[in-house]
Amino acid sequence: MKGITTCLWFDDQAEEAAKFYASVFPNSSIGKAARYDEAGAKASGRPKGSVMTVPFTLNGHSFLGLNGGPVFRISEAVSFVINCESQAEIDHYWDKLTAGGGQEVQCGWLKDRFGVSWQVVPARIGELMQDPARANKAMQAVLGMKKIDLATLERAAA
């Protein structure tokens, strides 16, 4: 097996989304887009020559953006977790992914301007939530936050 690729279905913003995500994450690249030919355009209702799919990689993870039209919508049922080592990393990803129409949600979750859900969390959040002596205090702190404040979380869990 050559790995697993996450396919994201967009109405017609796959290329725009790929460029945006590649600007946010390190070690990212965008591959060559495939375009709708006459048969594909007729079957899908998409314009001939428009982008059908665009492969991209974000920090080593493979994605495929698909312009499939408005039939399906991205939902919060799937989210991508960004495990951050510092508050600076949390701030970077949070600020970039909420820019241009993204929405802050709760507990480190956000939805970007394309409707994709992300969890921007400290890498050690699992450790804090699994330790019975600290889990309740850590959870109470997280429930009161949109963007995670690492120092506040660590003080609460101490």
- Which comes out higher in pLDDT, residue 111 or 157? 111
pLDDT given at position 128: 84
Q: Concatenated DSSP letters for 110-153? A: EE-TTS-EEEEEETTHHHHHH-HHHHHHHHHHHHT-SS--HHHH
How confident is the model over 116-120, as a mean pLDDT? 98
Q: What is the pTM of this model?
A: 0.92
For 140, phi then psi, to 5°, come to -60, -40
Per residue in 90-104, pLDDT (tens digit) is 999 999 999 999 999
Tell me: pLDDT of 48 over 90: yes
CATH 3.10.180.10 fits 6-67, yes or no: yes
- Segments making up each domain of the chain, as ranges: 6-67, 79-157
Give dist(CA 28, CA 7) in Å, integer: 16
Mean pLDDT of the chain: 94
HEC per residue, 3-61: CCCEEEEECCCHHHHHHHHHHHCCCCEECCCEECCHHHHHHHCCCCCCEEEEEEEECCE
Q: Do domains 6-67 and 79-157 have the same CATH topology?
A: yes
Per residue in 18-37, pLDDT (tens digit) is 999 999 999 999 999 999 99
- Which comes out higher in pLDDT, residue 133 or 113? 113
Specify the CATH architecture of the domain 79-157: Roll (3.10)
Q: Residue 61: beta bridge partners?
A: 58
Instruction: Report the candidate in 63, 84, 27, 67 with the shortest Cα–Cα distance to residue 95.
Output: 84
